[in-house]
Each structure stands twice: as structure tokens, then as C-alpha cells.
A and B are shown apart, each in its own frame.
Chain A
Amino acid sequence: MVGVASSGTATVTLPTEDQILVTRELDAPKELVWKAWTTPELVKQWWHANRGEVTVSEIDLRVGGTWRYVSVTPEGFEVAFHGEYREIEPYDRLVSTEAYEGIPNPDENATVNTMTLDEDNGRTTVTILVQCPSPEVRDAMIESGMEAGMQDALDLMEQVAISLR
């Protein structure tokens, strides 16, 4: 069997002032990616991002149906997201809202996430376009991320720090 090639890191870009775009190539056909993305027991195995465990993974996969994921960090901090499915095109496209329950009025500030799968030679590129309701909401996401102490200075910023002294 051919070994699983490492597909590298996810790429995050900011195409417009109220969008975030995430892409990553996976070594599997899109049917399997779809299955891993929409099956609650399988979501539990990858959504945690190595920071704790997913304790709740609920998926009602139909238009107007809801989803909810809760993960708990090793420090015991609970992080919960939920949303509603807007468009479902099996193996190709999934549009849903995503609300972070840790902020006031989660549903008013929900993003609309469009996940698309493109297969080529048995490998699948996943693209997630996160559409924020406004640039301010994206700003708020950044600021909440900062408060949560998620900062991590890397390459460019190490040099910046040196240049600032």
C-alpha cells in the first residue's frame, strides 16, 4: 500500500475584510472526507485539534437541521459551537452557520461557513470559506482570541520583536 503522504499545514488567508479562507489537501477521496466531516463519532476524533476532547458531537444533517460540538480543554475550559445547515450537497458542498457560544448573542454574530470538497486523483482539497456578518465581528473574533491567550509569536514576528527591541 502507498504510504500516507503528509499533506502539510492548513492555509489560512483573508480574502476580504469579512471573510476567512481555510484550505488543506487530504489523502482520501471526497466521499470519505464527507463521511468523516458529517458523522458524529468521527467528528469526535478530529475536531478537538489536540487540545482536549470532544464531549458532545451532534449532527442533524438536513437543511434546517442543527449541529453542536462541545470540547473540553485539559484545563477544563468548555468550548461550544453550534449552527444550522443551510445547503447540503453530499460529497461536494456543505453550507452551515457557526455560532460560538462563549460570546453574547452567539446567533446574531454567527458566521456562514461554506465547506467544499474537490477531488483530484484520489486526493481531496477541503476549502472552508468563513463569512462573518461584518468586519467588526471578525475583529471581535481576533480580540477574543487574544484574550484567550492564544498568541504565539512565530517567524516574522520574532524578527519584529527584535526590530522593536
Chain B
Amino acid sequence: MAAMARAATTADAFNAIAEPRRRQILDVLAGGERPVNDLVSRLGLAQPQVSKHLRVLREVGVVDVRSEGRQRLYRLNGHALKPIHDWVKSYERTWSERFDQLDVVLKELKEKEEGDGGSGK
């Protein structure tokens, strides 16, 4: 394996998965190891594009590859991805909870305004 110019960081992995097509690739690979042809047909993208995305994902360690006969099989490296996924989900959950509470506050404010005959402030 070629030496990398520098060690991949969590931030790099973040960037790698910020791209929607790359997230699609990860979704497919979450179902198991796949050859590149499989990804091409599932995503409806040209092979060079898929290969480019796979290269980015490999560079940050989110995807691993191995050769089997003439095929190259790609798979997820969940260890590289999990901290990011967990963090985004956790952040999303915090904000979802806040907004759910905000819905309640806003409902009360609306009812109060209607009760005031819509006079508002």
C-alpha cells in the first residue's frame, strides 16, 4: 500500500462523508462488501466517478479494499466512521429535542395571540 502524505484525521473523514454521493456509497457498503461494478449499477454513476469517490473514502480510512481474483472488493471500515456518525446523530438529536420543545412554546404563543384578538405585540 502506498504511503499517505499525512495521517488522515477525523476532520478528513468528515469531509469525505459530507458529499451526498459518497454517503450513498457508504449506505450501499453498509449492506456488505461490493465490487465497484455493483456500486456503479446501484448508484447509476459512471465508473470513473465512483472510483474517484472510493479513492477519497479510502484515503481517510472510511473504506477498505481487497483483491479477490480479478475483482477488487470494497467494504466499510465502521471504526473510522462511527465517531462522526455518532456525533452528528447526537447533535441532531439535541437540536430535534430543542425544536420539539420550541413547537410547544410556539403553540402557546400562537394561542395567546389569538386569545388577545390577534393584537400581537
Could you list which residues of chain A lie within 8 angstroms of chain B, going by C-beta atoms? Answer: 1, 4, 6-7, 9-17, 20, 22, 24, 26-28, 31-33, 35-36, 42, 45-51, 126, 128, 135-136, 138-139, 141-143, 145-146, 150-154, 156-157, 159-161, 163-164
The range of chain B's interface size is 35 or more
Contact partners of B106 in chain A: CB under 8 A: 26-28, 32-33, 36
Contact B83 A142 (CB under 8 A): yes
Contact A142 B78 (CB under 8 A): no
Could you list which residues of chain B lie within 8 angstroms of chain A, going by C-beta atoms? Answer: 9-11, 14-15, 17-18, 26-27, 30-33, 75-76, 78-79, 81-107, 109-110, 113-114, 120-121
Contact A152 B89 (CB under 8 A): yes
Q: How far is the CA of A119 from the CA of B59 in the complex (A)?
A: 42
A-B contact count (CB 8 A): 154
Contact partners of A143 in chain B: CB under 8 A: 10, 83
With A45-B105, A151-B86, A164-B79 as contacts: A145 and B91 at CB distance below 8 Å: yes
Question: How many Å from the CB of B98 to the closest CB on chain A?
Answer: 5
Contact B11 A135 (CB under 8 A): yes
B105: contacting residue among A36, A51, A126, A161, CB under 8 A: A36
Contact partners of B93 in chain A: CB under 8 A: 152
Q: How far is the CA of A43 from the CA of B117 in the complex (A)?
A: 25
With CB as the reference atom, state the residue of chain A lying closest to B85. A157
